[in-house]
Amino acid sequence: MGPQSNYYSIKRLLPSQWKEYKSIRLEALITNPEMFGSNYATESHFDKNNWISLLEDDSRAMFALYYNQLLVGVSGIKLKEADASTAIMFASFIKSSHRRMGLSKLIYEARIDWAVHKKCKSIIISHRSGNISSKAANQNFRFVYSHAKHVQWPDGVWADELFYLLDLTVKHER
């Protein structure tokens, strides 16, 4: 059964919502530390201004997934520093009780729409090798495998980071 749009919604987080962002981000880092490029020890020391600046920056957007008024997920997208025609998706998290319901579709659509609005030509996404859910989600949106890079993750484990590309200059049907 897919997401029921009258219960779930996705909205871009505003700087005034920094406490919500902090809460869900730290929960993500505690719940699934192996899946992120940062860690709880680092981000738990961020102050109010750090969190606000992440949401104020026009070259990035954090999207919150709500079930009614309850924050149940978060995901981000940013312009690539060296090439603003490319966006990078990152930091996706959905609380376990709301997974496997097709909700990543809402998150992907919001981020792709943001990239199109920013006039991006492509989007890059990556995930740790073995993250089947992330791979399935990006494949549903026709991302194409690009390459792998062997990296040490914040949890200390060495594993491949798999990269995928979505060409926005080609018309894709969703």
pLDDT in tens, 98-137: 888 888 899 999 999 999 999 999 999 999 998 888 898 8
> Quick check: 40 and 72 in contact, CB under 8 A?
no
Summarize pLDDT for 56-99 with one digit per residue, the tens. 999 999 999 999 889 999 999 999 989 999 999 998 998 888 88
Beta-carbon count within 10 A of 131 CB: 18
Q: What is the pLDDT of residue 13?
A: 97
The domain segmentation of the chain, as residue ranges, is 8-167
8-167 CATH: 3.40.630.30
